[in-house]
Amino acid sequence: MHPGLVALIVVLSTSAVVGAILLARHDRAGTGFLLGAGLGPLGVIIILLRRKAWEARWNRHAIGAEDARKEQAFRHWRGY
């Protein structure tokens, strides 16, 4: 095998694992893996730069879903 190809495979697989680890906390390991594997170190940099914005969006979505469940339970309790 060509040494450059081996180095490329090592870099992409390492980036894929790092990307998966960085987003695993938010149950988005697959997204992190694909960004790392597809874009290499650039994908990891994108994850690091965008992670805070994605966290805010994911948290808003989770809070909205929790509020909807509470409202549904309240309506059921009230008999609506």
Average the pLDDT over 40-57 and give the result. Answer: 87
Domain around 14: 3-78
Overall number of domains in the chain: 1
Tell me the whole-structure pTM to 2 decimals. Answer: 0.67
Q: Phi/psi at 26 (nearest 5 deg)?
A: -105, 20
Mean pLDDT of the chain: 85
Mean pLDDT computed over 19-48: 92
Short-list 36, 47, 46, CA closest to 11? 36
Q: Give the whole-angstrom CA distance, residue 72 versus residue 22.
A: 34
Give the distance from CA 19 to its chain's centroid.
8
